[in-house]
Amino acid sequence: MPADCANALSMMQDTEALLAVLRRAPVVPVLIVDNVDYAVPLAKALVAGGLPALEVTMRTPVALDVIKAMASVEGAFVGAGTVLDPEMADAAKAAGATYMVSPGATPTLLAHALKIGMPLLPGVATASEAMMARECGYRIMKFFPAGPAGGPTYLKALSSPLAELTFCPTGGVSAANARDYLSLPNVVCVGGSWVAPDDAMRSGDWARIEALAAEAVKLAV
């Protein structure tokens, strides 16, 4: 077991708490927001449409401010995405994120999330990566990039040998193929950006985003 993980193993991922958030809807919107003014109306539209678990990616200079603003929206469970290291994890927690998502996983990040008591959905793309995260105390993971990594066929193949693990596939997931993932026994939800198109945000078409969220809710199987 990696040394960093061994130091934090007694503090295993709070599986039930994370599942409680992810089970609220079949889709977690993956959001790249470059204008803080979009934050509150965007979160309100997604929550009103039935998607309360939100992932704000840390890919823009205003991401932390967006997380802070969205955290004030009633019914929203705001997570920070694209968390790459302990410093980003600390900043996300301070901004009010209730959980974190990473594209991959290092022993240092896995251990730090456990240390600070911040639920983390670590990214994995192979059985070996999933087993490493499991050794660090994790049971729920992000399968990323889902499409290039093998899609539903690969993820289904993991359901028997890694039966205790649950996944949220993200990357290449769309309204057209979401049900292929959601029908798998080891999938709790999917992550996708199609519910919040950039052009809808820039034009302030929050009604369109709410309608897309409502359609996404119907993908539940």
* Model confidence pLDDT, tens digit, residues 51-108: 999 999 999 999 999 999 999 999 999 999 999 999 999 999 999 999 999 999 999 9
Of the candidates 161, 193, 159, 169, the residue with the CA atom closest to the CA atom of residue 22: 169
The highest-level CATH class for domain 3-217 is alpha beta
pTM over 0.75: yes
In this predicted structure, the answer to whether residue 4 has a pLDDT above a threshold of 90 is no
Question: 44, 74 in Cβ contact below 8 A?
Answer: no
* Model confidence pLDDT, tens digit, residues 12-47: 788 888 999 999 999 999 999 999 999 999 999 999
Question: 186, 194 in Cβ contact below 8 A?
Answer: no
Catalytic position from the list 44, 68, 93, 142: 142
Q: Is 210 a catalytic residue?
A: no
Backbone angles phi, psi at 181, to 5 degrees: -80, -45
Catalytic position from the list 44, 55, 68, 93: 55
Q: Is 142 a catalytic residue?
A: yes
Of the candidates 60, 159, 166, the residue with the CA atom closest to the CA atom of residue 122: 166
Which residues fall within 8 angstroms of residue 40, CB to CB, at 6 or more apart?
69, 70, 72, 73
Question: 167, 28 in Cβ contact below 8 A?
Answer: no
Q: What angle do CA 131, 170, 146 make, to 5 degrees?
A: 65
- In the chain, what are the domain boundaries? 3-217
